[in-house]
Structure 1
Amino acid sequence: MGDFNHPDICWRDNTAERKQSRKFLECVDDNFLLQVIEEPTRRGAMLDLILTNKEGLVGDIKLKGSLGCSDHEMVEFRILRAARRALSKLTTLDFSRADFGLFRDLLGRIPWDKALEGRGAQDSWLVFKGHLLQAQE
């Protein structure tokens, strides 16, 4: 939770105008984080964010007005117990049981030249990461 000061980010569309904000969005995405604030917290902008790695972990989010001379809204939220218990049961990948031949075969079926054609490094990474995660399942 905190003031991340990226007023140009549109969290609904996951887009941003400034390069620094786009890099922040990429970092959030690369680390599988969710931003759960849905209302502006300062002068129509969503600057104060709650990032979580588990959907349903944070709930009862309320903006409570500003405190003293602050121009930011106070954010009240709860960390939900049910999600906390679920976190303790997180599964981890067991690489000793992985079928790397199948994994290599699944990724080898993708026409990479076409899939990455005309894309920059960041877009290519997102395409590759999507295929990698899909093959992992």
Structure 2
Amino acid sequence: MGDVNHGHIQWTSLQSTGREDQEFLNLVQDSFLSQHVLEATRGENLLDIVLSSQKEFVDNVKICEPLGCSDHNQIHFIIKVKGERNRKIRYRKNFHKGRYKDMREYLAKIDWNNTLKNKTATECFGNILKSEIDCVVDKFVPLKKQGKRSKKKHLSKEAIRKIKYKQMMWKTYRHAGSEEDYSIYKEALNQATAEIRNSKRSYEQQIAFNIKHDSKSFYAYVRSKQKVQDKVGPLGGSDGNIITEGFLMAENLNEYFSSVFTKEILVYYQYLRLSSKGESLTI
């Protein structure tokens, strides 16, 4: 995928008028590659292309509005490849869809007088009530998949509103194609770009100002800007085998840190305790 600047190539008929364009077209055909972009990507010219060795690898190609102040349109497409997913699916309670009426009816049927009779406060609240609450939550509150959050924290509500308005104006321009609609879209683009820049600057200033009180948010934002996310493993075990399972890697790291951790001298602490009592100790 890229900008090749060969605008004289007719990709639908596989013809070209320029010498360099024809040479590039011959190279693509000799390499048995398929080109998937068939609409203009910069004005009336088709300059950005997506190549693949098989047509089935790329699907659902869409030409969208330009990104930021660029004069090239975005190209959205799906690559059909199978990849290994090592992220386990996690579930959490969906309390918004809990059956609270059934929960109340279930708890009302319990004979609390006999259940809590002759029990201490610790037994009542720490064991019995906690056990019953956990039981009704598991019974009447469904689970849902815990997806990865994609919300941009640095975007304000005003920035999101202007982004949606810009996208709507782009669709209007693509449908009608008039100069007036394009001018409206450009104005919406400039406003959205300025609002995104201001919103991001305000968010970064805020987390930098609060770093002493909320350092977690600051470093989480810094890590989110990393292109390559760090992950643990695989690790080499003490027996020389490679460890890839999460639980076993945690156990291996625990054993290693325990082996290199500084062992404090107990005699020194015994001396401190004796000194606090006014007694002497000879080492």
**Same-fold call, TM > 0.5?**
yes
Deviation at 1:81, TM superposition (A): 3.2
For structure 2, the 5+ residue unaligned runs are 84-283
Matching of residues 55-134 of structure 1 within 5 Å:
55-81=55-81
Which position in structure 2 is the counterpart of 1:21?
21
Partner of 1:65, secondary structure, is: strand
Q: Secondary structure at the match of 2:9?
A: coil
Look up the equivalent residue of 2:57 and give its one-letter code. L
Q: Does 2:11 correspond to 1:11?
A: yes
Partners of 2:30 and 2:79 in 1: CA distance:
23
% identical equivalent positions = 36
| Counterpart-to-counterpart distance in 2, 1:8 and 1:80 | 29
Match of 2:47 in 1: 47
Equivalent-residue separation in structure 1 for 2:7 and 2:72 (angstroms) = 13
Q: Deviations over 1:86-109 (max 9, x none)?
A: xxxxxxxxxxxxxxxxxxxxxxxx
SS of 1:38's partner is: coil
- Cα deviation code 1:20-72 (max 9, x no counterpart): 00000000010000101121101111110001110110012111200121111
Q: Scaled by the length of structure 2, what TM-score is found?
A: 0.28
Distance in 2, Cα, partners of 1:81 & 1:70: 29
Q: Take 1:7 and 1:55, find their aligned partners in 2: how far apart are those partners?
A: 22
Equivalent AA in structure 2 for residue 11 of structure 1:
W
Rounded Cα–Cα distance in structure 2 between residues aligned with 1:50 and 1:81: 16
Alpha-carbon separation, structure 1, partners of 2:51 and 2:13: 16
Query: CA RMSD, aligned part only?
Result: 1.4
Partners of 1:45 and 1:56 lie apart in 2 by 25
Which structure 1 residue ranges, 4+ long, deviate > 4 Å from structure 2? none
Partner SS state of residue 11, structure 2: coil
Q: For residue 61 of structure 2, give the secondary structure of its aligned residue in structure 1.
A: strand
Structure 1 or 2: more helix by fraction: 2
- One-letter amino acid of the counterpart of residue 25, structure 2: L
Name the SS for the 1:81 alignment partner: coil
What is the CA–CA distance in structure 2 between the aligned matches of 1:66 and 1:3, rounded to whole Å?
14
TM-score, L = length of structure 1: 0.57
Count of residue correspondences: 83
Structure 1: runs of 5 or more not aligned: 85-137
- CA–CA separation in structure 2 for the residues paired with 1:55 and 1:75: 17
Report the CA distance between 1:78 and its aligned residue.
1.0
